[in-house]
Structure 1
């Protein structure tokens, strides 16, 4: 009986550890002027750029494990989200909102 209880406690603790390591961290990207979510922002891991995601209609993105992040979208100023990776040395983004600035449109010369 004692062995079963210890085994069960071990399994639960292992599950908690694995959940905390692999759970997805999420954040949001919004327009700095309108405060509206920006859909379609490319969010890439700074070191491993094969790891990327795109924001949804709510401006939400998520990663389970990442380094600093690069964010980019046509017509917006690209940026790096430093120190917000999901590794132990990062702050993680846990619902944090990041803002992007719309680039000024060049006027056609006549």
Structure 2
């Protein structure tokens, strides 16, 4: 039996329909970001490190600032543009004290032009 935790799937709070429409942004907004939220949950403790994965991209490690509270991880629009007109999987890994601690359920989002 594994001692790894299964965490709740991430979500994009501004896009609860799981559909991000890129045409709503300017062509030169690649540095602008869209917040992906890791839900607050008891097993997510201060000091844990979250690494968000969106298809072939992964975020830098995000350190949890407050036990049990939601955490926002910014995804640059330039990254989302790489995956236009397709559905992609979004999930995250959690490390505690440098060791794997768990993995989230997967969210499927649609990125459209």
TM-score, normalised by the number of residues in structure 1: 0.41
Q: Which structure dedicates a bigger proportion of its chain to helix?
A: 1
Q: Which structure dedicates a bigger proportion of its chain to strand?
A: 2
TM-score, normalised by the number of residues in structure 2: 0.40
